[in-house]
């Protein structure tokens, strides 16, 4: 069964450094998402992306965050200057269609630790 793949599985970085989290969505999917889960807390929406542009973003997704689809397969999340509170599990997800009738399929996540 096709799956969403994320790399790396674990990233440790120092505060203030830039990180790029990478994702390969399922190949025929058109909608891409990033979510995060701080340890012990809920899964939270960050951003959705379609047709090479952001279609929706949350309050968490401030100017420190950006997303990009640099080629036909990868989808990346960049955090420009990491803070301690950015430590979390970051999940990439994709869906075949938009919205109500299409479930999201999640990758295994990248655990980001900011020291």
Partner 1 sequence: EDKVVQSPLSLVVHEGDTVTLNCSYEVTNFRSLLWYKQEKKAPTFLFMLTSSGIEKKSGRLSSILDKKELFSILNITATQTGDSAVYLCAIRQGGSEKLVFGKGTKLTVNP
Does residue 43 belong to the site contacting partner 1 (CB under 8 A)? yes
- Which is closer to partner 1, CB of 8 or CB of 16? 8
In three-state secondary structure terms, 112 is: strand
Among 10-18, 19-27, 33-41, 74-82, which window interacts with partner 1 (CB under 8 A)? Answer: 33-41
CA distances 18 to 13, 41, 66, 87, 106, Å, are 8, 24, 11, 13, 24
| Binding of partner 1 by 96 (CB under 8 A) | no
By the rule CB under 8 A, 48 interacts with partner 1: yes
Identify any residues that bridge with 68 across adjacent strands, giving them in sequence order. 76
Is 29 one of the binding residues for partner 1 (CB under 8 A)?
no
Q: Which is nearer to partner 1, 20 or 98 (CB)?
A: 98
- C-alpha 60/C-alpha 17 separation (Å) is 18
């Amino acid at each position: 069964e096709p799956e969403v793949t994320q790399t790396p599985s674990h990233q440790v970085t120092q505060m203030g450094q830039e990180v790029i989290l990478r994702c390969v969505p399922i190949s025929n999917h058109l909608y891409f998402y990033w979510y995060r889960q701080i340890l012990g807390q809920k899964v939270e929406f960050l951003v959705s992306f379609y047709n090479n542009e952001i279609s929706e973003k949350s309050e968490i997704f401030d100017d420190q965050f950006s997303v990009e689809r640099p080629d036909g397969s990868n989808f990346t999340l960049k955090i420009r200057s990491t803070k301690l509170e950015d430590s979390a599990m970051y999940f990439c997800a994709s869906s075949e269609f938009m919205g109500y009738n299409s479930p999201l399929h999640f990758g295994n996540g990248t655990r980001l630790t900011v020291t």
